[in-house]
Chains A and B, each alone.
Chain A
Amino acid sequence: MKLLALQRTMARAVMQPLTKSEHMQEKAPGGGKMRAYASRFIKPNDRLTSFERLEIYNRQYWFRLFSALAEDFPGLRSVLGDKQFDAMCKAYVVDCPSTSFTLRNLGSKMESWLRAHPKWAGKKQTLALDIARLEWADIEAFDNESKPALRTEDLATADAETLKLELQPYVRLLDFAYPVDDLLLAVRKEDDTDFASNAFSEKRKKKHVRAVAKLNPQPIYLVVHRIDNSVYFRRIEPEEFAVLTALGKGKPLAKALDAAFRKSKMPLEERAAAVQKYFQTWATLGWFCRPLQKKATGA
């Protein structure tokens, strides 16, 4: 068997889902018996059959990927419950196997996949989509690039009609139907407590899952961002969210402000002060990038 053929043969078996009892399936990829499939390319030894040797890798693959998803999506796990989350992960990995050299990117398609497969969250679909989106934004905010931040002097000669501002690559703007920021922080706090005292963890988890099930919708606008290399969630007003979203899409400042306040209920006399406050906050938190210097052209 040539190298590529052997690697394809082994990979198909390694990536095949485990049974409910977390063992290798008896059925081989493409049909037939896995025992015969394994013995075609793997030698047995005096203690393990070819099947058992291949099974070590099959189990390691799934345990590693489950562990990565559980680490990245504790909130989603809390919403779905442990069993449903594990079953969902299996289906997700089958549909969206890792195509990156780093496991960091494994969950990148979670929200869109869940949207296309509503059976996994059932009645909690909206909540599940919200929390999955927040957890992926949290990963991106943690290690996306940071560019030099915009300074006040960069705006000295700016014209609002033409001024375009670029958001930092680590800033994520998200609108949710549920207050999932509170939920995720509560799950993380609980996980920390569980770590300190395993004895009561099961009881607390059940209590928490019940609490999650009762979570009521409450629309929120959130910025997931980074300060001193720690990720924070900041709730903002709908108008501020609209301005940031428009700027993020490349609209000039004047148009972004116009679009943001078009349907706003904020009294006209309060808007100028609100915008001034927005800019102060954005400048303090460094959410916008400094414009690139135009290169001087030689004569």
Chain B
Amino acid sequence: MPANKFNGFTDYGIGIGLRATHYDHILSRKPVCDWFEIISENFMIDGGRPLQILDEILEQYKVVQHGVSMYFGSAEKPNREHLRRLKDLVKRTKTPWVSDHLCWGSVDGRYTHDLLPMPYTFEAAKLTAQKVREVRDFLEVPVAVENVSSYAEFHVSEMTEWEFLNEVVERADCGILLDVNNIYVSSQNHNFNPLDYVNSIPAERVAQIHIAGHSKYRKYILDTHDHPVIDPVWKLYDRAIQRAGHTATLLEWDDSIPTFKEVHDEALKADKFLASSVLATAV
């Protein structure tokens, strides 16, 4: 199940997020890395150093685009300027798929620049799916939606988060970027069993998996991407791989970023789980 229509029938291995602190190392040492994930918005500009770096990276590495402000769940229409610039970047990177979050973050033209949680209602699922379809049709590449970490739940919700995710991806016929760290964070913040979540998603729609670290506070957990992946998250990853197969995997590390080698080594811990999934398939 690794290559599917939701990731452009690719078979990517283990990648890491491309971050400015690693540019010099990557361009001068050219380390082996299966692929890099870029934050699309950082490169949706007209020129200058970021695009030059990206072009140099593209000469040697596979790159996949990940967005942070499409806001599939916002009640308003997609921003046309955003879409136009995103499509220009898709043409530049030749990304096999694009991903963004199952969340909202703007209203009445004002942006919070945060990944705000959805109310899990049928109305929201229908509208979100419609927007995912619209974006995919405009970009002409597969779209995968990512589950977010959340710190609040709404009275109006009519289903669980995973039921909402399933409702959206079935209606939109799109892929899932399954973030197992986000599942863990939300499970701790909202008191549910994270395995129920992983066991409930349609595995055949998983285009990619995210792993990351987080920060634990006295009353809640914050998704900070500034620590190694903890064991309970690896266990969720293991289960996700058992269900979805050898899937493109990406480690996110966005704050207090260590050396390239440390980040890459942390990501490569996923290898043993991926290897076991290949063995299981062979048997």
Contacts and interface: CB of A to CB of B under 8 A. Distances in A.
A143 B155 contact: no
Given A144-B48, A145-B47, A98 B111 contact: yes
A100 interface: yes
B113 A65 contact: yes
A42 interface: yes
Interface string B160-172: 0000000000000
A56 B190 CA distance: 14
B154 A229 contact: no
A102 interface: yes
Interface in A1-29: 1-4, 6-8, 10-11, 14-15
A56 B49 contact: no
Nearest to A4: B75
Contacts of A57: 112, 114, 116, 151-152
A11 B110 contact: yes
B41 interface: yes
A43 B155 contact: yes
Interface stretch (A46-54, A128-136, A206-214, A239-247): A46-54
Nearest to B76: A4
Contacts of A278: none
B10 interface: no
Contact of A42 (B79, B154, B189): B154
B153 interface: yes
A3 B127 contact: yes
A226 interface: yes
Bin chain B's interface residue count.
35 or more
A200 interface: no
Contacts of B51: 143
Contact of B114 (A61, A99, A142, A146): A61
Nearest to A230: B49
Bin chain A's interface residue count.
35 or more
A293 interface: no
B24 interface: no
Contacts of B28: none
Contact of B151 (A6, A56, A68): A56
Interface stretch (B101-109, B264-272, B273-281): B101-109
Given A43-B154, A146-B48, A102 B69 contact: yes
Contacts of B124: 3
Interface in B73-108: 74-76, 79, 81-82, 104, 106-108
B9 interface: no
B107 A8 contact: yes
Given A7-B74, A48-B219, A143-B49, A99 B110 contact: yes
B31 interface: no
B48 A170 contact: yes
Contacts of A45: 153, 189-191
B215 interface: no
B213 interface: no
A143 B46 contact: yes
Interface in B111-129: 111-114, 116, 119, 121, 123-124, 127
Contacts of B112: 11, 14-15, 57, 61, 98
Contacts of B76: 4
A111 B162 CA distance: 46
Given A41-B155, A41-B156, A45-B191, A99 B119 contact: no
Given A43-B155, A102-B44, A229 B75 contact: no
A64 B46 CA distance: 24
Contacts of A14: 112, 114, 116
A56 B48 contact: no
B131 to A, nearest CB: 11
A6 B110 contact: no
B219 to A, nearest CB: 4
A61 to B, nearest CB: 5
Contacts of A109: none
A96 to B, nearest CB: 10
Nearest to B75: A4
A45 B151 CA distance: 10
Interface in B135-193: 151-156, 189-191
Interface string A225-255: 0100110000000000000000000000000
24 contacts: A1-B119, A1-B156, A3-B75, A7-B116, A14-B114, A15-B112, A41-B154, A43-B154, A45-B153, A45-B189, A45-B190, A47-B219, A48-B219, A53-B153, A57-B116, A60-B114, A61-B112, A61-B113, A100-B111, A101-B79, A144-B46, A146-B47, A169-B46, A229-B49
Interface of A: 1-4, 6-8, 10-11, 14-15, 40-43, 45-48, 50, 52-54, 56-57, 60-61, 64-65, 68, 97-104, 142-146, 169-170, 226, 229-230
Given A1-B155, A56-B151, A143-B49, 13 more contacts: A4-B75, A4-B76, A4-B107, A6-B119, A6-B156, A7-B104, A41-B154, A57-B116, A57-B151, A61-B114, A98-B112, A100-B111, A102-B69
